Amino acid sequence: MPYLNLDESLKRSSLGIDYSTSIDDPGMAESREIQEIDPDRPALTEVPGRVLLVEPAAHERSWLRNELLAGRMEVSEATDLITAQRAVAMFQPNLILAQLRLPTYSGLELVRRLKRDSTTQSIPVLLYTDLATAEERIQALELGASDLISRPFVAAEVLARLRAALRIRHLLTILEQRAHLDSLTGLANRGVFDDRLPREWEACRRRRTALAVMIADLDHFKAVNDSHGHAAGDTVLRQSAATLARVIRTSDFVARYGGEEFVVVAPDCEISAAVRLAERFRTAIEQLRIDEHGDTIPVTTSVGVASFADLTRTGPAELLRRADEALYRAKEAGRNATWFWEQTQSSPAPAVPSSDTEP
């Protein structure tokens, strides 16, 4: 499975994973690519370390830095809580090794601040000190530190603990990604969509901007599976997902809604722009040429679109219901069509196909 690189209002999860649209497609930006990593591979022992070392004493900092560099870690340094916070923002470490007893503020306060911030709470923090008390150990672990090491220590043990913390973080990241991704297409799954829609609704309501939802359903998909096999059906789904991810705006969110259905949440999007977006996708799918054992599989899609400009009168469930009803009407009217339902309309209407498909 590929790997998604979903909070400007929701894009960051508790592990700091970015869930904006992503799909395994060479035409997309690197930040939106997905990359499969097998947790059973030995390469996990070599997760690259970007370590922020927080130590006030120059001689101790120098010794630790040299040991970390010898252990093939990339290192940045800080001397107290304030410089550490700046370094976190600039260096973006994936691991922090910090002295417990820092000047002014302790290492415990550093842990507390990092774990309060959704953008840094997933970074493992290992604290060290001379003869830590049981109370300090308990407090450090309860605040979210990965470990508290007592000095004197052997450099090899510190490196082993750092690598173990990196492996655990890496595996947790993969687990969260797999829990939120559709394994076939690499798009976000239905659960993520169910969480995202009300958040985008609330964000657009605060900004007083329109919110659009688009539901696309591949036409006669069962016939593809029946005639060409499920492997061919999987290829159609993957290429359709890649096409959708390519034509949407960077601010839009896309998910696999279920079966052969995809859904897009488009913030700050009036009905006219939403219809153009839907038509871009519909025509791009119509132009797909998927070859399977010498046969070309024709693919088309039906699309339902709804957009609300006034988000104070109803809720996201009604927006979704209207998009679904518009999709039903597109199917009923013969498929390979876009139907839309604007907030002030009493019923869905067909979109007029146009060569102007730019959003």
Check the CA dihedral 277-283-285-287 and report its sign.
negative
Which residue in 55, 136, 200, 260 is the catalytic one?
A: 260
Q: Which of 130, 169, 127, 177 is nearest to 19 (CA)?
A: 177
* E strands in 146-243: 147-151, 211-218
Percentage helix, strand, coil for the chain under 3-state DSSP, each rounded to 5: 45, 20, 35
133-149 exposure pattern, b = at least 16 Cβ within 10 A, e = fewer: eeebbebbeebbbbbbb
Is 200 considered catalytic here?
A: no
Give 135-141's long-range contacts (Cβ < 8 A, gap of 24+).
136/100, 136/108, 139/108, 140/100, 140/107, 140/108, 140/111
The DSSP result for 93-117, as a single string, is -SEEEEESS-SSS-HHHHHHHHHHS
Provide the 10 A C-beta neighbour count for residue 356.
Answer: 7
Q: Which of 123, 132, 125 is nearest to 101 (CA)?
A: 132
Across the beta sheet with 50-54, the strand order is 74-78, 50-54, 95-99, 125-130, 147-151
Q: Which residues are part of the catalytic machinery?
A: 260
